[in-house]
Copies of this chain bind each other. A is one copy, B any other.
Amino acid sequence: MDIVYILKALADENRIRILNLLKNRELCVCDIEAVLGIKQSNTSRHLNKLKVAGIIVSVKKSQWVYYQLNDSTFQKFPFLSIIIGYEVEKINVCKDDLVLLEKLKASDRCCE
């Protein structure tokens, strides 16, 4: 059951927060690490779990690895769009994360 792996990947607060951040843009590991306030290695492992489940994909650009939502999986499983496009908007932490991400990106402190 593919869907069980997808659900397992979704069933974690940090990973929901990550998918919320990736909703409309691609981000590198250090962006996500900074917003969530978790360790780099932990961030990398969460991203890997989402990637193995097929929910996100990664592209390496010079020293950074950019992660983004995997469109084809979102098309194959419409419930994903409902969770990431609608449910997360109800969650306070996720709203705060988006504000924090804007600040971070504006400040140019991360990546560059």
Stretch at the interface among A32-40, A63-71, A75-83, A99-107: A75-83
**Copies per complex?**
2
B1 near A11 with CB under 8 A, answer no
CB-CB under 8 A from A7, the residues of chain B are: 7, 10-11, 16
Interface residues of A in 1-60 (CB under 8 A from B): 1, 3-4, 7-8, 10-13, 16
Interface residues of A in 82-98 (CB under 8 A from B): 82-83, 86-87, 91, 93
CB-CB under 8 A from A86, the residues of chain B are: 78
In Å, the complex CA distance between A1 and B95 comes to 13
B3 near A91 with CB under 8 A, answer yes
Name the residue of chain B whose CB is nearest to the CB of A5. Answer: B11
The answer, among B4, B16, B82, for a CB contact under 8 Å with A16, is B4
In Å, the complex CA distance between A13 and B36 comes to 30
Q: If the complex has contacts A87-B77, A91-B1, are A10 and B13 also in contact, measured as CB distance less than 8 A? A: no
10 closest pairs, A vs B, by CB? A7-B11, A79-B82, A8-B11, A79-B79, A11-B11, A7-B10, A4-B13, A79-B83, A1-B13, A3-B87
